[in-house]
Amino acid sequence: MKPDWDKLMDAFSGSSTQLVADVDCTAAGKPLCESNGVKGYPTIKWGDPSDLQDYQGGRDYDSLKSFAEENLKPVCSPSNIDLCDDDKRKDIETFLAMPDADLDAKIAAEETKISDAETLFETELQKLQNAYQKLMDDKDKTIADVKAAGLGLMKACKVAKAKGSKDEL
């Protein structure tokens, strides 16, 4: 993917409204990656820098270029309110009119919902992993017990009976 991404960065390098860039999340870019929820690599994010979205499309040059041409343009935001529909404009105007403390509290409440959902997911995932491990262990023990009880010998005897020979047991 790296060669295609580099080619895409070159294709958009002169744009005044579109930015295609990469960030090294293991070095100086680590705080930026953490603040934007980057957990695996490569991760592609797009949109307003304060509200980046996950890219879900193809990872070849043609798919990336097509997506960039269609989506990397000015969009509805506080700095481009003229591009917003009436509902989104009303939301932006409401948030802009809020006192900073109220807006901070609202943001914190929504971020808490996300954090709580992630915590619940991790907790439930751990329960599933534990249940899976127990089922695997139980299955492996059952198989070992059955084999130890003589399953192989029983199968050998069945084959020998089918051949009608008692000499080759």
pLDDT number for residue 19: 84
pLDDT number for residue 125: 97
Q: Are residues 45 and 105 in the same domain?
A: no
CA distances from 58 to 31, 54, 144 (A): 27, 12, 45
| Residue 94 covered by a domain | no
| Residue 86 covered by a domain | no
Tell me the pLDDT tens digit for each residue of 83-123. 999 999 999 999 999 999 999 999 999 999 999 999 999 99
Q: Are residues 67 and 121 in the same domain?
A: no
What does the pLDDT average to over 118-147? 97
With a cut of 70, say whether residue 165 has pLDDT above it: no
How many domains does the chain contain in total? 2
* H/E stretch holding 46: strand 45-46
| Residue 84 covered by a domain | no
- Domain extent for 8: 2-74
Task: Considering only residues 134 and 3, tell me which one the structure prediction assigns the higher pLDDT.
Answer: 134
pLDDT number for residue 168: 52
With a cut of 70, say whether residue 169 has pLDDT above it: no
Supply φ then ψ for residue 41, to 5 degrees.
-130, 140
With a cut of 80, say whether residue 16 has pLDDT above it: no
Q: Which amino acid is at 128?
A: L
Q: What is the pTM of this model?
A: 0.59
Tell me the pLDDT tens digit for each residue of 22-68. 888 888 888 888 888 888 878 898 887 778 888 999 999 999 999 98
With a cut of 60, say whether residue 156 has pLDDT above it: yes
Q: What is the largest CA-CA distance in the chain?
A: 95
How is the chain split among helix, strand and coil, in percent rounded to 5? Answer: 65, 0, 35
